[in-house]
Structure 1
Amino acid sequence: MSEPAPEVSVLLVNWNTREMTLDCLRSVYAQTTRTRFEVIVVDNGSSDGSAEAIAREFPQVRLMAEAENHGFARATNLQAEVARGEKLLLLNTDTVVLDRAIDNLVAFSREHPEARIWGGRTLYADGSLNPTSCWGRMTPWTSFAFATGLSAAFPKSKLFNPRAYPGWLRDSARHVDIVTGCLFLIDRDFWRELGGFDRRFFMFGEEADLCMRAAKRGARPMITPDATVIHYDGGSTRNRAGKLIHTFSSTIGMIDDHFPPRSRASSRRMVVAAAGIRALGYGLAAKLNKERFGGSAATWGEVWRRRSEWRRGPIEGELNPASPRR
């Protein structure tokens, strides 16, 4: 008699996070007891021995050891093509599953099928709230608030920083605009209906784009505090300038794809201005206090110099760290 199909396919994309990934996998198997699941790991050409370590400790994992770094979107699409689960759970490698989080999230999805996309609550390693498990959608107003620094100056303001859902501790079930990809559950059939992630997004922005496309088909994403994980955040992204460049390029892509035509050009200019304002501000601050602001000045200076790379939209592929100064 054949083994029943898994209820959930847990999808992890690994890139040089061997120890974090192993810890994540240990927590998945230890904490998931009520749900039939399979685990599929794509290793994006890691150089730290990740693939060998995963295969040795977790022979039951379906390991796709790739020779190159496909990025998050393309790697996840590869996993989804071979997944057998009724649902797909995207789980970051820099997470640790707590308190039956996967079991609870699957149960929550069955209680709220109308959401069609589900997420949970994330904590930092010290147990404090990591609010990045969900976001509000981008709008021309949020682009303006970010560019002018209003969202940073007034982080607790629902007017100036609405994307962060200020004042809400992620301690109640709620509809949200964007469930982030660190803990992201979706029906496999709906994933395929949407065509998966847009391959143009190498990293950052892919789940926001997917959620906004899903909303046009009636989805109302939700998160639940009963599904909680530790999310260390940025385990495979240590180059802050590179992360920001990819983030800005993805933001431009989101504007082009989802903003009303009449507001696209002005919103694009706002994004470029945001980088310029920060490069100028941190550059001036570093002249007064290099020890405190020198690192940020260098980071934002690089983002600004390389604006010709990101202001065209999503960057498909890894960044060249030796990109010439502009």
Structure 2
Amino acid sequence: MTTDVTIVVATRNRRHQLLSLLPRHTAPVIMVDNGSDDGTPAAVAREFPGVRVVELGRNAGAGAARNVGVGLARTPYVAFADDDSYWAPGALDRAAALLRRHPRTALLTGEVRVGAAARRDPVSAAMARAPLGTEPDAPGPTVLGFLACAVVLRRDAYRQVGGFAERLGTYGEEALLAMDLAAAGWNLAYVPELVAHHLPVPAGRDPRARRRVETRNRVLTAALRRPGSVLRAVVADAWRDPAGRAGLRDAARHSGWVLRHRRRLPVEVEAALVTLSRAGATAPLSAEVPEPVPSAAA
């Protein structure tokens, strides 16, 4: 079992799938439960006594749950997994070795293989095209986005930038963290040999509600870090969809928070985001995608 990495799993009401995947984890696990009412915490504690179970008692969102898990971890590196994902054998040992060898790299994102057929997620295919190139001292192509179920990161770097913005909850919360790590001078790299398997549930979530939250978070992230021109483009795009318009209204309710926490990205990070946009690549929103639906580009 990997000893330098802790796996943090955020979950809510996915007891059966979580119980089936926990045996596949190859490092110590901290499971943070977001107010499940299906008996998840008790079942995990009973069947997997080696897993540390943390109950938040409410649905605080995936980002908040991961922040709690990282705060409790004592290893230098942390891997995230969802309740419908797991890391391939050997991936976490390799990730730890790469992070030791590349001290300027804060985050490694691996290749996501989706479903029983283990098809490569389009996010991974986009990252492999490496529109930002590869830094000389990095283990793979530079990225400015990731799917949370497929990252291994340096715990100190995560804590340095404050982790996930808990106000963003779940869906699209990764983009802001990626920007903040890059703004702090850290490299983020795609390493395809690190494989994460994602077995998404094809039903059970409300797609319109999800689009609403994704839009809210996309708008808030742009308002917090990007130029006004980018924010205007994001708003215009959201306005075309009824769920997007609802997301815009939700975002407006957080205007005071945005004003208190807004800070522009360094010129080089903003330029890299523009390069990604021109290359037709955008930051992924979430790994919570039913198998028949293509993921967003990275």
Q: TM-score range by the shorter chain?
A: 0.7 to 0.9
Quote the Cα distance in structure 2 between the aligned partners of 1:237 and 1:254: 27
**Higher Cα Rg, which structure:** 1
Could you tell me which of 10, 14, 36 is aligned with 2:11?
Answer: 14
Which residue of the other structure, out of 82, 94, 104, is the alignment partner of 1:104? 94
Change (3 A) 1:193 1:51: same
Which stretch shifts more, 54-63 or 76-85?
76-85
- Deviation by residue 1:114-148 (Cα, 9 ceiling, x = unmatched): 221111100111221113359xxxxxxxxxxxxxx
**Residue 69 of structure 2 corresponds to residue 67 of structure 1:** no
How much does 1:52 deviate? 1.9
| Equivalent residue in structure 1 for 2:212, among 224, 238, 245 | 245
Q: Which moved more, 1:237-246 or 1:52-61?
A: 237-246
- Pick closer, same or farther for the CA change 1:236–1:249 going to 2, 3 Å: farther
Residue 74 of structure 2: aligned partner = 84
One-letter amino acid of the counterpart of residue 54, structure 2: M
Aligned residue number for residue 271 of structure 1:
234
Instruction: Give the % identical residues.
Output: 28
| 1:302 positional shift | 4.0
For 1:183 and 1:55, how far apart are their aligned partners in 2? Answer: 25
In the TM superposition, 1:38-77 aligns within 5 A as 38-77=28-67
- What secondary structure sits across from 1:196 in the alignment? coil
Per-residue CA deviations over 1:138-169 (Å, capped at 9, x if unaligned) read xxxxxxxxxxxxxxxxxxxxxxxxxx45857x
Following TM superposition, by how much is the alpha carbon of 1:251 offset from its aligned partner in structure 2, in angstroms?
A: 0.9
Q: Which AA in structure 1 matches 2:237?
A: A
Query: C-alpha distance in 2, partners of 1:272/1:81?
Result: 34
Please say which of residues 103-112 and 194-203 is displaced more in the overlay.
Answer: 103-112
Kindly indicate whether the alpha-carbon contact (under 8 Å) linking 1:18 and 1:50 is maintained by their aligned counterparts in 2: yes
- Once residues 4 and 202 of structure 2 are traced to their aligned partners in structure 1, the CA distance between those partners, rounded to angstroms, is 28
Residue 10 of structure 1 aligns with an amino acid whose one-letter code is I
Q: Is contact 1:180-1:208 (8 Å) kept?
A: no
Return the alpha-carbon distance in structure 2 between the equivalents of residues 249 and 256 of structure 1.
Answer: 11
Residue pair 1:252, 1:312 contacting (<8 A) in 2 also: no
Distance 2:19 2:221 in 1: 33
Equivalent residues of 2:212, 2:246 under 8 A apart: no
What do residues 221-270 of structure 1 show as CA deviations (whole Å, max 9, x unaligned)?
1121211121134679711111111111111111112113xxx2x43333
- Write the distance in 2 (CA, Å) between the matches of 1:27 and 1:65: 22
Counterpart CA distance in 1 for 2:76 and 2:232 is 42
Counterpart residue type for residue 230 of structure 1: H
Maintained 8 Å contact 2:219/2:235: no
Q: Which residue of 2 aligns with 1:298?
A: none
Give the C-alpha shift of residue 211 in structure 1: 1.6
CA spacing shift, 1:119–1:69, aligned 2, 3 Å: same
TM-score by length of 2: 0.74
- C-alpha separation in 1, matches of 2:111 and 2:247: 35
Match of 1:228 among 195, 202, 221: 195
1:130 aligns with 2:130: no
TM-score by structure 1 length?
0.68
List aligned pairs for 1:249-264, cutoff 5 A.
Answer: 249-260=216-227, 264=228
Distance verdict in 2 for CA 1:72–1:8, change over 3 Å: same
Q: Which residue number in structure 1 is paired with residue 269 of structure 2?
A: none
Residue 274 of structure 2 corresponds to: none
Q: 1:54 to 1:45 in 2, by over 3 A?
A: same
Judging changes above 3 Å, is the alpha-carbon distance between structure 1 residues 237 and 223 closer, same or farther for their aligned structure 2 residues? farther
Quote the residue 1:309 is aligned against: 250
Q: Does the 8 Å contact 2:33/2:41 carry over to 1?
A: yes
What is the CA distance between 1:303 and its match in structure 2? 4.0
Question: Which ranges of structure 2 fall in alignment gaps of 5 or more residues?
Answer: 131-138, 258-298
Matched residues in 1 for 2:203 and 2:167: separation? 19
Confirm or deny: 8 A CA contact 1:94 1:235 kept in the other structure.
Answer: no
| Inter-partner Cα distance in structure 2 for 1:235 and 1:100 | 28
Q: Say if 1:88 and 1:187, in contact at 8 Å, map to a contact too.
A: yes
Contact 1:133 / 1:182 at 8 angstroms: preserved in 2?
no
Query: How many residues end up aligned between the 2 structures?
Result: 246
